[in-house]
């Protein structure tokens, strides 16, 4: 799967696997802005619909980051909200997820600026 290079690296660093899933395809058929989910298969796995492949890279980045937010909270706060997932991303990656209307769907996650690496590591060392 072709991903923005910063997201490819982030998934590797976080040991998160991204995979296509038939149920994600069905969800996308029912609701156009539904491209991805977590929690379907236990572990650090993000499932995406095949339509994810054709998204603008900024939507791909926004969607993957949002799903990473769910994975960050899934154990400690199993009943967290969508907003909580975005807040976890904002705290951990210093990246704000925006929601925009586009040809790919309404109010779809959008992050145009690549994730910056290194800050988190330096903070941890202080």
Contact 97, 89 (CB under 8 A): yes
| Dihedral, 126, 119, 76, 61 alpha carbons, nearest 10 | 180
Among 36-44, 87-95, 99-107, 108-116, which window interacts with Zn ion (CB under 5 A)?
A: 36-44
In 3D space, the residue among 62, 73, 33 whose CA is nearest the CA of residue 49 turns out to be 33
Contact 3, 18 (CB under 8 A): yes
| Choice between 10 and 21, CB closer to Zn ion | 21
**Interacting residue with Zn ion among 3, 10, 21, 71 (CB under 5 A):** 21
In the complex, least distance from residue 60 CB atom to Zn ion, rounded to whole angstroms: 15
**Interacting residue with Zn ion among 12, 29, 40, 116 (CB under 5 A):** 40
| Choice between 38 and 58, CB closer to Zn ion | 38
Take residue 96 and report the two structure tokens written for it: 């704000």
| Choice between 88 and 115, CB closer to Zn ion | 88
The answer to the question of residue 32 lying near Zn ion (CB under 5 A) is no
Take residue 8 and report the two structure tokens written for it: 């490819």
The answer to the question of residue 101 lying near Zn ion (CB under 5 A) is no
DSSP assignment of 12-73 equals: HHTT-EEEE-HHHHHHHHHSTT--EEESSSSSSEEEE-GGGGGS-HHHHHHHHHHHHHHHHH
**Interacting residue with Zn ion among 36, 47, 68, 108 (CB under 5 A):** 47
The answer to the question of residue 72 lying near Zn ion (CB under 5 A) is no
**Given the rule CB under 5 A, which residues bind Zn ion?**
21, 23, 40, 47, 82
């Amino acid at each position: 799967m072709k991903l923005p290079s910063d997201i490819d690296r982030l998934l590797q660093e976080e040991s998160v696997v991204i995979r296509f899933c038939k149920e994600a395809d069905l969800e996308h058929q029912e609701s156009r802005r539904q491209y991805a989910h977590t929690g379907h298969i236990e572990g650090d796995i993000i499932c995406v619909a095949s339509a994810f492949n054709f998204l603008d890279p900024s939507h791909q980045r926004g969607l993957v980051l949002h799903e990473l937010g769910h994975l960050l909270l899934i154990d400690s706060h199993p009943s967290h909200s969508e907003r909580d997932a975005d807040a976890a991303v904002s705290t951990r990656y210093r990246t704000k997820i925006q929601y925009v209307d586009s040809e790919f769907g309404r109010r779809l996650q959008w992050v145009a600026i690549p994730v910056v690496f290194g800050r988190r590591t330096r903070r941890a060392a202080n």
